[in-house]
Amino acid sequence: MEKNINIRTFEDLYNACEKYEKTIYEISQEREAELAEVSIPEVRIEVKRSIDAMREAIQNGLHSDKMSVSGMCGDDCVRLQKGFERKHALFGKLYEKIVTYALATSEENLRMGKIVACPTAGSCAIVPSVLVAVSDSLGISEKEQIDALITAGEVGRIISNKVQLAGAVAGCQAECGVASAMSAAALTQMRGGNVKQILNAVALAMKNLLGLTCDPVCGLVEIPCVKRNPFLAIHAVTASEMALAGIVSKIPLDEIIDAMEQTGKLMSPMLKESSEAGLAKTKTAIELEHKLGM
């Protein structure tokens, strides 16, 4: 691959994959190695460390019901696990794993435990829950897991070229929305999808989350953030399934990201992490603010 290859859009990425006959993760790890002036094996070792940290966060979260400092969240993962013990989910064991892993990670974050911001702390559970649950259930190798996370990372990187991945800039579409798109990419990679299918999975996931606001109750990354993670993990699975079946986004991915940027700019500042409107200013949310002395 040429030195200092400049991949800033998904069209650039697709063209590079076609030109060099390489996958997204191969292009991405070569670029990262070049920029960081390290070897590709060193890049992959760092990615493996992130996966290990994801697994650790999941396990810690699964076995804790410690509440957050606010007392608003922290015991829902345990509650969900007990619910599935009484009656299994309609969608089966893998669904159960994904949603419990997502809650476990989100709750570990609000307890100030170690998580992987993927791409942000508020959206930290979406990629790990799908990657770990699916890889364990389907026997995905360590190599393939690393390939998948590198693929997801490249998706997040390219989106960040256009839109800052922060709720304060573009709402939760730029956090949980992007995380869901990244997760769709990782899952499609793990299941043998080609470059077109991976990018279509990203497009299908992203365009259906445009306009998602960031209106956290009491200004904390708890309500609705914690439970939003498992919902959007399943959303990512749906996008991947559609893409693998050959369904194509009618709007090109780069245009979807342009629309995301425009939507973020048009979104009221009161709905971008300021907790000045929306869910954060419902009657009950205001009562919680008073209770916490905020």
Beta-carbon contacts of 268 under 8 Å, excluding residues fewer than 6 positions away, are 277
CA angle (95, 100, 104) in 5-degree steps? 155
- Name the residue ranges covered by the structural domains of the chain: 1-38, 39-147+165-291
Question: Distance between CA 44 and CA 166 in Å, rounded?
Answer: 26
- Alpha carbon 168 to its chain centroid, in Å, reads 17
* Structure token digits, residue 237: 């699975």
- Tell me the pLDDT of the chain (294 aa) as tens digits: 555 478 999 999 999 999 999 999 999 999 999 999 999 999 999 999 999 999 999 999 999 999 999 999 999 999 999 999 999 999 999 999 999 999 999 999 999 999 999 999 999 999 999 999 999 999 999 999 999 999 999 999 999 999 999 999 999 999 999 999 999 999 999 999 999 999 999 999 999 999 999 999 999 999 999 999 999 999 999 999 999 999 999 999 999 999 999 999 999 999 999 999 999 999 999 999 999 988
> d(Cα 79, Cα 65) in Å, to the nearest integer?
9
Q: Which two tokens stand for residue 205?
A: 């996931």
Q: What share of the chain is helix, strand, coil (3-state, %, to 5)?
A: 65, 0, 30
Name the CA dihedral angle for 273, 203, 149, 130, rounded to a multiple of 10 degrees.
80
Q: Where are the extended beta strands (E) located within 160-274?
A: none
Distances (CA, A) of 178 to 34, 69, 135, 175, 276: 25, 28, 21, 5, 23
